[in-house]
Amino acid sequence: MRRFEPAWLVILAGVCAALHVGKLPAALPVLRDALGVSLLQAGFLLSLVQLAGMTLGLAVGLVADGLGLRRTMLTGLWILAGASALGGWADQPAQLLVLRAVEGLGFLLVTMPGPGLIRRLVGAGRLSATLGIWSSFMPLGTALALLGGPVVMAWFGWQALWQLLAALTVLMAIAVTTAVPAPTAHGAAAPIPAGWSVRLRDTLTAPGPWLVALSFAVYSAQWMSVIGFLPSIYSQAGLASGLTAVATSLAAAVNIVGNVASGRLLQRGVGPDRLLLAGFASMGLGAWIAFGPVAALLPSPSAAVVRYAAVLVFSALGGMIPGTLFSMAVRLAPDERTVSTTVGWMQQWSCFGQFAGPPVVAWAAHRAGGWSGTWLVTGGCALFGMALTLGARKRLRAAGAAP
């Protein structure tokens, strides 16, 4: 008897991949001292992990059916393990930059097949709820890295964190190999997909994949920018490293509330357009309060509390967006043959958002001489997300009502 359902192992593989993304924000203050990483280099270190996804997401989606979703995930886990192990020996920022790009390829190969594998492993009645849980892999992995990373680095150094995550990823690859069945071992074999050019054309000429892709881009740009720089923001404010780690990991972890809630609410018939609008509005308002002029009018202790509470709202209610979009990506794909391609296209734009967001926010902080300009960048993303949702409200409601 298996300890976990195979679908849970798929989710845990996503969490393992997200640990590699989350280890960098936790290590940035240490890397700036140890390797002389500049603020701009820090922005690219945060975003370069998304380079492969930004350029190859659609291509990986197209070939995943040929490779097999399970095999694609395993390949990604082994790439992550190797790049992280090598990263532990880096002694220059340039080496870390290159290896972060390689880790980005591994991250993409692990996370892109996740929704398709879950779709095969769970029944239709559990799909929305399970995909809502799947969408929490990023905040959960980030929170664990932000909380545990400083402890490991304090005792053993930042290199040990890279090596530890490499070993953990090897164990995850072994678990997926032994416990997640290949398609032919879980019922009938999957139908042979159409040629790649047909799937590419069908995906890129349909409005549904574009809707989920662009919406995910503006969400991920906001979330990664704010959560990714929180350790640096709090460190510069003079907070102790332990308090910074707890505060930042909690801000990442509360995103899970929205992820899981979105799946439950979709299952109960709440319209996806309502969830997306609420999520984008909450992120825009939360960032405005956290980084804008409002809290500055309050006394110092109260201002810090209000700003942090706004960050928690930003992350928690914003979590409804990815939970909704993962469910919609499966339903808005042009047909059965293009689910993986649609998810790959969505991942590509999500990675673009995560790639572009941190450097833009870092540039805004540099120009403003502080983090007060952050809300202008994130607020613009939130408004664009709301406009996308309003423009596609009928299509979203129809997809949300589909079985």
Asked if the structure places residue 185 within a domain, the reply is: no
Tokens of 316: 């928690």
Q: What is the pLDDT of residues 130-161, one digit of tens each?
A: 888 888 888 888 888 888 888 898 898 888 99
Distance (Å) of CA 223 to CA 135, 317, 318: 14, 11, 8
CATH number, domain containing residue 64: 1.20.1250.20
Q: Does residue 189 register a pLDDT over 50?
A: no
Phi–psi pair at 265, nearest 5 degrees = -70, -40
The total number of structural domains in the chain stands at 1
Res 282: pLDDT = 95
Q: Does residue 186 register a pLDDT over 70?
A: no
Q: Which of 387, 96, 334 is nearest to 215 (CA)?
A: 387
Asked if the structure places residue 133 within a domain, the reply is: yes
Domain interval for residue 349? 6-180+190-400
Res 188: pLDDT = 44
- CA dist., res. 263 & res. 258, Å (int): 9
Asked if the structure places residue 130 within a domain, the reply is: yes
Asked if the structure places residue 277 within a domain, the reply is: yes
Asked if the structure places residue 333 within a domain, the reply is: yes
Asked if the structure places residue 1 within a domain, the reply is: no
Q: Are 379 and 364 in contact (CB under 8 A)?
A: no
Model's pTM, two decimal places? 0.78
Burial of 76 (0-12, 13-18, 19+ CB in 10 A): buried
Q: Tokens 């290159």 sit at which residue?
A: 98
CA 275 to chain centre: 18
- Half-sphere exposure in the Cβ direction for 351 (13 Å, CA): 29
- CA dist., res. 284 & res. 290, Å (int): 10
